[in-house]
A and B are shown apart, each in its own frame.
Chain A
Amino acid sequence: MSTIILKNIYKSWGTTQVLTKINFKCENGELLVLLGPSGCGKSTTLRLIAGLETPTSGIVEIGGKDVSNLPPVKRNISMVFQNYALFPHLNVAENIIFGLKARKVPKKEQKKRLEDTAALLGLSDLLKRKPAQLSGGQRQRVALGRSIVAQVSVCLMDEPLSNLDAKLRQEMRQEIRSLQQRLKMTMIYVTHDQVEAMTIADRIILIKNGVIEQHGTPEDLYNQPATAFTGSFIGNPPMNILTPDSPVMAACSSLLSIKEATTPYLLGVRPENIRISEDSGIKVMVEAIEYLGADTLIVCRSAKQIITLTVKGKAGVSTGDHLRLNWKPEHIHLFDAKDGRRMEALPKDITS
């Protein structure tokens, strides 16, 4: 079993609190993504699990064993680094079996594992090359090979695809996902790219400023964002988070029956849920249009707020046009303005 549990993890560097009250469980065989903006603490969390850092307080459990103070080698894990960390003076074969040699695995076993892994990753022809003679994608696969050949059930990945171009990233993330499922690895994957997270994760943990914002499946994070931050981080283009000023309220008040503002709140609505209407809704002026082929992004301004919407195909509008936008009540997300937490309110049962 290789379930990973973090209990009440706190981490600080001197006076800076980097992680606060981190609690989560990664099930056996699950691909868990730690997602968040730069500097939020996701890499630190991964390094705590790996054993390259020790927590200020709290417990890390792998496979039911408390490993909080154990060095990396005793935790039975493998790791892929952002910059691959390939040894430049060794060739591909030696890089891959580096750990096996260090752990004194018998030579025959080393050879067998190397051959299997090289075949799996398409590296069999590159075994004699040095890292400097490889492309980015090939180096990435060597780093993957090094972690696979260890044959441990836990694999930790620290932004492994961030140095690759977009197309290669897409190919590699599918490869990683299928490898993980084929080898039944418990994988924790760190990234700042929400597209990566959404496409490969079984579950996602969104972290901001060292605190977990939401922990759930990609669908949960997309359809039921627990905080305004989650709403705006997940989804491309991001959710519109609007303050309910008078133009917005004029458009919405017929759709919602919100109790008279006892707490200040924010409205969230996704760009793909906004429609251009002939007669009802909020008045906006088009500021920018981005044609993407399948969709068009239209950036509009209403008084002080920017609203972005997407329409299919080519939009028949141009910059400077005046439009009216509206949206269905079930597409509105309400968030408390003070802490960003999701609020539930009763939408009026009206069709727009």
Chain B
Amino acid sequence: MLGALWLLPVIFAFWSAFHPAEFSTHFELFAPLTTDNFVRAWSHAPFPRYLFNTFILVTLILAAQFILCTLAAYGFARFNFFGKNIVFALVLLQLMIMPEVLLVENYRTISRLGLLDTISAIGLPYMASAFGIFLLRQSFKTIPKELVEAAQVEGVSSVGILWKVYVPLARSTYIAYGLVSVSYHWNNFLWPLVITSSVNSRPLTVGLAIFGAPESGVDWSIITAATVMTMAPLLVAFILFQRQFVQSFMHSGIK
């Protein structure tokens, strides 16, 4: 029942998007279907550009996170260095801080870097993700030391061991984390709103909000059409990957 309640706004959005304006608040089972709303929404605001921005954004963030978090997690999981526990405690500390709290400070830093209103600016605060480091470290730690020793005896370097042993064996963690990261950043709103000011870098969430602003009157059918366009890629991806999504969370426990 809770699921049904949850789905209601989504159902409404789909309903309203595919039917002409008169039926957006009228539930008639055999109302005519139309894609007119999508066409109008598409031309009303630079959605292609927004889509492009969002796509670049999540890809950039994910790539940076994979690289940075893998390297950091490897260091924590395998090596002993001076101050290791303190540094890890700092990493965990980051987990407790919501990035929204740092809004003003981050804005100041980005403007000093001269990166205001760029896609990389949206992504920068999130790239060294403590959550990613933590997840990967835990995953790396489950890999038996004997595998590492066997690789050492075979003549593989430390970096080689990371690439050939640790990363392939942590695949399910990467998938799980990737899905979480992509969905989080696709839907992220507040920080991108603050840091972007033009179409050049604005992601879909902000673009949609501006589009739906009431100055032009509330035309639900167009707004919902735009919303569906925003949701669609993620929804499709989730449906395609849902088995892996659930399985990866399960497997990372059992291994």
Contacts and interface: CB of A to CB of B under 8 A. Distances in A.
B152 A102 contact: no
Given A88-B169, A89-B169, A102-B160, A83 B144 contact: yes
B150 A73 contact: no
A71 interface: yes
B150 A85 contact: yes
Contacts of B144: 83, 85
Interface in B150-194: 150-156, 160, 164-165, 168-169, 171
Interface string B87-115: 00000000000000000000000000000
A50 interface: yes
Contacts of B155: 72-73, 99, 102-103
Given A85-B144, A89-B168, A103 B150 contact: no
Given A52-B152, A73-B155, A102-B160, A83 B169 contact: no
B169 A73 contact: no
> Of B147, B151, B155, B171, which is in contact with the most chain A CB atoms at under 10 Å from its CB?
B155
Interface residues of A, number: 22
Interface in B123-152: 144, 146-147, 149-152
Contact of B149 (A78, A85, A87): A85
A6 B156 CA distance: 26
Q: Binding site of B, secondary structure by majority: helix, strand, loop or mixed?
A: helix
> Of B150, B151, B153, which is in contact with the most chain A CB atoms at under 10 Å from its CB?
B153
Contact of A73 (B146, B147, B152, B165): B152
A50 B169 CA distance: 25
Q: How large is the interface on B (under 10, 10 to 19, 20 to 34, 35 or more residues)?
A: 10 to 19
A82 B144 CA distance: 12
Contacts of B169: 87-89
A81 B150 contact: yes
B154 A87 contact: no
Interface in A82-102: 82-83, 85, 87-89, 98-99, 102
A81 B152 contact: no
Q: Binding site of A, secondary structure by majority: helix, strand, loop or mixed?
A: loop
B168 A79 contact: no
A87 B165 CA distance: 8
Contacts of A78: 153
A206 interface: no
Nearest to B160: A102
Contact of B152 (A72, A83, A146): A72
A77 interface: yes
A6 to B, nearest CB: 19
Interface string B200-217: 000000000000000000
A71 B146 contact: no
Nearest to B167: A89
A344 to B, nearest CB: 45
B146 A102 contact: no
A212 to B, nearest CB: 25
A328 B171 CA distance: 68
Contacts of A87: 147, 150, 165, 169
Contacts of B153: 50-52, 72-73, 77-79, 99
A85 B152 contact: no
A50 B165 CA distance: 20
Interface of A: 50-52, 71-73, 77-79, 81-83, 85, 87-89, 98-99, 102-103, 146, 150
Given A72-B152, A89-B168, 11 more contacts: A52-B149, A73-B154, A81-B150, A85-B147, A88-B169, A89-B171, A98-B164, A99-B154, A102-B151, A103-B154, A150-B154
10 contacts: A52-B152, A72-B152, A72-B155, A73-B152, A77-B153, A83-B146, A85-B147, A85-B149, A99-B153, A102-B156
Interface of B: 144, 146-147, 149-156, 160, 164-165, 168-169, 171
